[in-house]
Amino acid sequence: MTLSGAAASTLPGAQAPPQGPVTGQPRLSWLRRLMGSEDARRLLSCVLGLLVLAVMTGPEGSASAPLSGFTGSLFHLRALVFIGLGFVLWAVITLRRRFGERARQASDWVSSAPRRLVTNRQARYGIYLALLAFAVVYPMVLSQFWQNVLVDQIGIYVLLALGLNVVVGYAGLLDLGYIAFYALGAYSAAYWTGALAVHPPITLNPFWAIPLAILAAMLAGVVLGAPTLRLRGDYLAIVTLGFGEIIQIVATNLQGVTGGASGPASVIPHFSVHVLGVHYRWGLADLPYYYLLLGFVVIVLVVFHSLENSRVGRAWTAIREDEIAAESAGINVLKYKVLAFSIGASTSGFAGMLWASQVGYIDSTLFTVQLSILVLVLVIFGGMGSLPGAVVGAAVLQWFPWFLRVHPLFGFQQQDLFIYLGALLIVMMIFRPEGLLPSRRRKREIGLAEHGIGTADAMSEPGGEP
Amino acid sequence: MTLLRLIDLEVRYGAIRALQDVNVDVSEGEIVALLGANGAGKTTTLRTISGLARPVKGSVQFAGREIHRLPPHEVVGLGIGHAPEGRRIFPQMSVLENLEMGAYRRRGDLHQDTERVYSLFPVLKQRRRQDGGTLSGGEQQMLAIGRALMSAPRLLLLDEPSMGLAPLVVETIFSIISEIRKTGTTILLVEQNAAQALALADRAYVLENGRVVMADKARTLLNNERVRAAYLGEGAA
């Protein structure tokens, strides 16, 4: 009753609610008047929402003190911090509502600034080189811990995100079994280097296992893709989801080959080079691995960038925008979808191979659906269809949990990580659905989809297909 | 010479029979219209020709070759351009990019082809850098036709080019269609706007519930009692 009265009073142009004697509880009329303001209601829900988050991430209750989960969160400095965050969120939402269009323009202006400032080619290559130099030099001054994070958590995931970006961002296909190819790459690495119980015809140096791991993942991509890519968006997602599960279960149950959940008995060897009398072994130190990864990431970036701007890239754009139109324009839709899918798969396999050789150990419990979804989140967070987006998105989202672990803010606990990440993603999807650094075209597509002009893209609502 | 021949075509969507015993001939250089109400099977006919739908019976022959088992992109390669229903341009590509996508299967210099489209539709030249999605309905239709022409087709399939457009724009588009015919392209046109289509076409087929119920010279059909009553909005209510 209170709320419905309040809603009426906030309608623009609606008549003021009767100011006369209020029936019922006159004592609550101040509350009623306060809640009549839309801002106040929004503030209340922001603060309450954040308080819920505080309780969810707070200390656990125990059998002897069942309420301590609440009291420990609410009667504590944490509560104040979260209430403060609630105010901040409210302020952002309110400002956005007041100055929505201008705020959006401002954030676009900031994110597109580099593009505008650097219009000439040479300057752009200069900036790429500067960024590369930074990527080369900066890790040297980092602590061992951060060097490890850089290799294990960031480098590998940047590679994974770049591969999935081809599938999701370029071709618009939703792949939820992406990590299956990562597993295939990792197990191929283990097989060809002789770490599995089943031995290969010749045991190879990890470098020689790279093309074989890529090939295995790519073949799996083609074999899975050729029959299933005829399906549209949602169905493809289900098929790939199933494929991811199958690979993990097979890896678990094929004990005699893969070692199942306890992994292969022997260690997967590290990379090493023996050329012309030069002998070098990548050992346990992270920095050499970082440079190896950086080299591969740069190669992948260059290849994907040229793909994006090629005939192939334009076919992908056409398929993403309107599959039927692409077909009637003479594009072999299935061929280009399989191509995108298997390029993504081989990148994933490549990443799995590199990772297996660096860590030296794999087991079947590592290749979960969550990991597939995490990589998808990295791509969406960074901005679909954008190479800088995939790199920055993966780097930021993968860095953030480790940052929290090292600098725990207001009682951060590791097991609550996904609550925070979930909250961050929700906020992100509300305020910047196109991601951090979206591609220009992708961004406009998402804008159109919001206005209901979307097409049959895996990532948007299905269009009116006949 | 017969360029396109549909023989006893039957197409189903699941249990629904969309086309039955459809026989259509299109000769080189003709404009042929397919008329009929909503759901009569006009669009399905075009989709079957261009490979987007598969017949369960009958065949499609183009320039003496069976094409009804070919995938759409190969049909385009043989010389059939399709401007699909609802225009379906690429909204985030510029006008020029849209046109280039139409010539996707062809290699080499496209300059002459784009210039040809621009000369038919001067407004597209003005807007060549603009996104397809920002064009007006009529301009999008022109772009859809232009894109289909970029594949250098011998046969152009047009699916309701007048849909949702102002009468003046419809007139422009129809006059351009007859321009296109003069350059030697054969046209199969699907229309609800029967009066305009019959004025333009040489011959026409009338579809009802997936069957061809009438086939004749356009001028004859224009004077046919039944056609006048059912499709030209004259006579009995």
Q: Which among B77, B90, B105 has the least Cβ separation from residue A325? A: B90
For chain B, how many structural domains are there in total?
1
| Average pLDDT score over chain A | 82
Q: Flag whether B105 is in a domain.
A: no
Q: Is the pLDDT of residue A198 over 60?
A: yes
Please report residues of A whose CB lies closer than 8 A to that of B149: none
Q: Flag whether A121 is in a domain.
A: no
B98 Cα to chain A: minimum distance (Å): 9
Q: Is the pLDDT of residue A71 over 80?
A: no
pLDDT tens column, B177-193: 999 999 999 999 999 88
pLDDT tens column, B62-101: 999 999 999 999 999 999 999 998 889 999 899 999 999 9
Can you give chain A as a three-state secondary structure string?
Answer: CHHHHHHHHHCCCCCCCCCCCCCCCHHHHHHHHHHCCHHHHHHHHHHHHHHHHHHHHCCCCCCCCCCHHHHHHHCCHHHHHHHHHHHHHHHHHHHHHHCHHHHHHHHHHHHCHHHHHCCCHHHHHHHHHHHHHHHHHHHHHCCHHHHHHHHHHHHHHHHHHHHHHHHHHHCCCCCCCHHHHHHHHHHHHHHHCCCCCCCCCCCCCHHHHHHHHHHHHHHHHHHHHHHHCCCCHHHHHHHHHHHHHHHHHHHHHCHHHHCHHHCCCCCCCCCEEEECCEEEECCCCHHHHHHHHHHHHHHHHHHHHHHHCCHHHHHHHHHHHCHHHHHHCCCCHHHHHHHHHHHHHHHHHHHHHHHHHHHCCCCHHHCCHHHHHHHHHHHHHHCCCCHHHHHHHHHHHHHHHHHHHHCCCCCCCHHHHHHHHHHHHHHHHHHCCCCCCCCHHHHHHHHHHHCCCCCCCCCCCCCCCC
Contact across the interface for A328 and B72, Cβ inside 8 Å = yes
Per the listing, tokens 């045991």 go with A203
What pLDDT, on a 0 to 100 scale, did the predictor assign at position A439? 78
CB B127 within 8 A of CB B97: no
Q: Flag whether A317 is in a domain.
A: yes
What pLDDT, on a 0 to 100 scale, did the predictor assign at position A410? 63
Q: Is the pLDDT of residue A9 over 60?
A: no
For chain A, how many structural domains are there in total?
1
Q: Which among A315, A324, A330 has the least Cβ separation from residue B76? A: A330
What pLDDT, on a 0 to 100 scale, did the predictor assign at position A432? 80
Percentage of chain A modeled with pLDDT above 90: 33
> Which residue segment(s) compose the domain that B71 sits in?
2-91+153-231
pLDDT tens column, A15-46: 445 554 545 556 677 777 777 777 788 888 88
Segment A254-281 mean pLDDT:
80
Q: Flag whether B136 is in a domain.
A: no
Q: Is B141 on the interface with A (CB under 8 A)?
A: no
> Which residue segment(s) compose the domain that A381 sits in?
147-388
Longest dimension (CA), chain B: 56
The model scores a pTM over 0.90:
no
Segment A357-375 mean pLDDT:
90
A312 contact partners, CB below 8 Å, separation of at least 6: A336, A339
Please report residues of A whose CB lies closer than 8 A to that of B104: 311, 314-315, 318, 329-331
Question: Which residue of A309, A321, A328 is the best one to mutate when testing the B interface, meaning the one whose CB has the most B CBs within 10 A?
Answer: A328
Q: Flag whether B187 is in a domain.
A: yes
Q: Which among A318, A332, A334 has the least Cβ separation from residue B90? A: A318
Q: Is the pLDDT of residue A206 over 80?
A: yes
Q: Is B63 on the interface with A (CB under 8 A)?
A: no
Contact across the interface for B91 and A453, Cβ inside 8 Å = yes
Segment A390-407 mean pLDDT:
88
B50 contact partners, CB below 8 Å, separation of at least 6: A328, B72, B75, B76, B80, B82, B157
Q: Flag whether A379 is in a domain.
A: yes
Q: Please, what is the Cα angle at B34 between B192 and B3, to 5 degrees?
A: 150
In this prediction the ipTM stands at 0.89
| CATH number of residue B223's parent domain | 3.40.50.300
pLDDT tens column, B136-171: 999 999 999 999 999 999 999 999 999 889 999 999
Q: Flag whether B65 is in a domain.
A: yes
Distance between CA atoms of B132 and B113, rounded to whole angstroms? 19
pLDDT band at A337 (very low <50, low <70, confident <90, very high): very high
Q: Is the pLDDT of residue A462 over 50?
A: no
What pLDDT, on a 0 to 100 scale, did the predictor assign at position B4? 96
pLDDT tens column, B199-222: 999 999 999 999 999 999 999 998
Contact across the interface for B52 and A327, Cβ inside 8 Å = yes
Q: Is the pLDDT of residue A435 over 70?
A: yes
Q: Flag whether B179 is in a domain.
A: yes
Distance between CA atoms of A82 and A405, rounded to whole angstroms? 19
Instruction: Pick the range with the lowest mean pLDDT from A38-42, A58-62, A92-96, A389-393.
Output: A58-62
What pLDDT, on a 0 to 100 scale, did the predictor assign at position A233? 66
